[in-house]
Amino acid sequence: MNPFDLALRRLDERLRPPRLPIGDVSYALHDTGLGQLVLAVAEPGTVVACSYDDEAAVTEHLARALSPRVLRRPDRLDTLRRQLDEYLEGRRRNIDLPTSTVLATPFTQNVLEVLRSVPYGSTTSYGDVARAIGEPQASRAVGNALGANPICIVLPCHRVVRGDGSLGGYAGGAEAKHFLLELERGS
């Protein structure tokens, strides 16, 4: 292998998210007031997806990144579905399950890690997140990373707004983001 190809291979390996040592990935479709979500857990119950994307796109991504055994097993997601419903009803402030951002790129993983420190009922800006990861000029890249959040709601990307306080984008749409922020402000 020539040096150029070797360098490209090493770069590709560095940018590819690490694989979890897992067997099956269980997923389910879950209807909410915000629309249908695709939820997925890797064994033994680590949340890897809570997505507004369509079922085929999510399951294909799961199969490529984690395991070829992606099974529609709603029973294995009962706890996540219950906690998510309680959160959306205002009876819970967070989802108390382990998560893995293994479906995200390393940059997105860094951005998502910042979300863990944004308290319920609070917001931060894209610029603040960019500064928190040491990339103060990367507000747009932060927005793109948040748009690629594989675990929406569970990792609260809806809590990130524009510097002027306006909503900004959200994978579930502006109405969903507004609903989630108002839900948290009212609880």
Rounded CA-CA distance 26/76 in Å is: 7
Which residue among 157, 161, 176, 180 is the active-site one?
A: 157
Q: Is 30 exposed, middle or buried (0-12, 13-18, 19+ CB in 10 A)?
A: middle
Rounded CA-CA distance 176/18 in Å is: 31
Rounded CA-CA distance 65/44 in Å is: 17
157 is known as an active-site residue: yes
In 3D, which of 118, 119, 49 has the Cα closest to residue 129?
118
Put residue 64 in one of left, alpha, beta given phi > 0 → left and psi -120 to 50 → alpha.
alpha
Rounded CA-CA distance 96/74 in Å is: 18
Residues classed as catalytic:
157
